[in-house]
C-alpha cells in the first residue's frame, strides 16, 4: 500500500499534469480585407472626409487602413462642462456622420483620450463620455449600432509627453476612425488589448538625456 507521502506526491504530479495540459487561449486572428480593396476605399473617402471638415479645427490623417479625424478637446468641448460639445463642432462632425451613414460599407470607431493628470479611472471615464458625445451625433444622423463603436482609452495612448502644458493638450482628444466595415472587428480587437507602456514620455526623457550629454 502507498504511504501518505507517496499519495501526496502522486496527487501533486497529477495536478501538475492537469495544469500543464491547459492551453492558454490566444486571441483569434481576424481576417482582413484585401489591401488593394482597402487602399481603393481610402483613396475614395479621404477627399470626401477632408471636404466635410474643411474650415474646422479638426485634423484628418491616413493611418494604414483607416482615416482618422482628430478633435482636440480644447476648442471642441465647453471648458465649464467638459463633456458638452461646443456648437462649432456640430457642423463638421454632422457632415462626417452623414457621409458615413449613407454608405453601408463604412464603420466608425470613436476613441476618447485623456492626459495623465489626476486619477486614471476618472480619466478613462471622462475620455469615454467625451467620445460618447461625438457618437451621439453619428446616431442622430442614422448610423446603426452595428457600424458604430465607442471606447474611452484614458491616458493609455498619449501622442506626446505629459510633462508640459502643450503635451497634455495634445493628449486630450477624441479620434473618429473611419474604416471599411470589413476591418472593424480587427480594429476593435486592437484597441481592446491591455494598455502598453506609454513610450512617448520614455522616449522624450531619453532624448533629453542624450541632448544633455551632447550639450544641445
Length of the chain: 216
Mean pLDDT of the 177-200 span = 72
Asked whether the beta carbons of 138 and 109 are under 8 A apart, the reply is no
pLDDT score of 125 more than 50: yes
Q: State the residue range of the domain holding 44.
A: 32-193
CA dist 31 and 57 (Å) reads 35
At 9 the pLDDT is 52
Q: How many domains does the chain have?
A: 1
b/e map of 4-16 (b: 16 or more CB within 10 Å)? eeeeeeeeeeeee
* pLDDT confidence of residue 23: 44
Cα Dmax for the chain = 87
In the chain, what percentage of residues exceed pLDDT 70? 72
Q: What is the pLDDT of residue 200?
A: 45
* Confidence band of 181 (pLDDT split at 50, 70, 90): confident
Query: Does 26 fall in a domain?
Result: no
Beta bridge partners, 121, equal: none
Q: For residue 64, what pLDDT is reported?
A: 82
In a domain, 9, yes or no: no
Domain-embedded: residue 137: yes
**Range in 2-6, 21-25, 30-34, 151-155 the model is least confident about:** 21-25
| Domain membership flag for residue 14 | no
pLDDT of res. 16: 47
Closest CA to 95 of 63, 34, 50: 50
Rounded to an integer, the average pLDDT of 107-111 is 95
Per the domain annotation, does 128 fall within a domain? yes
Would you say residue 155 lies in a domain?
Answer: yes
pLDDT score for 142: 93
Question: pLDDT band at 100, cuts 50/70/90?
Answer: very high
| Local confidence band at 130 (pLDDT 50, 70, 90 cut-offs) | very high
Instruction: Please compute the mean of the pLDDT values over residues 196-212 and round it to a whole number.
Output: 44
The band of 190, judged by pLDDT with boundaries at 50, 70 and 90, is confident
Mean pLDDT, the chain, integer: 80
CATH number at 58 reads 3.30.1330.60
Q: According to the model, what pLDDT value does residue 6 have? A: 54
pLDDT at residue number 34: 66
| pTM > 0.85 | no
Amino acid at each position: 500500500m502507498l504511504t501518505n507521502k507517496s499519495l501526496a506526491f502522486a496527487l501533486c504530479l497529477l495536478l501538475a499534469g492537469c495544469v500543464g495540459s491547459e492551453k492558454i487561449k490566444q486571441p483569434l486572428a481576424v481576417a482582413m480585407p484585401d489591401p488593394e480593396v482597402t487602399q481603393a476605399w481610402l483613396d475614395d473617402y479621404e477627399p470626401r472626409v477632408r471636404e466635410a471638415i474643411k474650415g474646422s479645427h479638426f485634423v484628418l490623417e491616413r493611418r494604414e487602413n483607416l482615416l482618422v479625424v482628430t478633435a482636440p478637446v480644447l476648442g471642441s468641448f465647453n471648458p465649464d462642462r467638459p463633456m458638452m460639445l461646443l456648437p462649432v463642432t456640430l457642423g463638421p462632425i454632422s457632415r462626417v456622420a452623414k457621409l458615413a451613414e449613407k454608405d453601408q460599407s463604412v464603420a466608425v470607431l470613436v476613441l476618447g483620450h485623456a492626459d495623465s493628470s489626476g486619477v486614471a479611472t476618472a480619466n478613462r471615464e471622462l475620455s469615454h463620455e467625451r467620445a460618447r458625445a461625438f457618437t451621439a451625433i453619428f446616431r442622430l444622423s442614422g448610423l446603426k449600432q452595428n457600424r458604430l463603436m465607442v471606447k474611452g482609452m484614458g491616458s493609455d495612448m498619449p501622442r506626446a509627453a505629459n510633462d508640459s502644458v502643450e503635451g497634455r493638450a495634445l493628449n486630450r482628444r477624441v479620434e473618429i476612425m473611419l474604416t471599411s466595415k470589413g476591418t472593424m472587428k480587427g480594429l476593435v480587437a486592437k484597441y481592446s488589448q491591455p494598455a502598453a507602456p506609454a513610450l512617448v514620455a520614455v522616449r522624450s526623457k531619453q532624448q533629453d538625456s542624450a541632448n544633455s550629454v551632447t550639450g544641445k
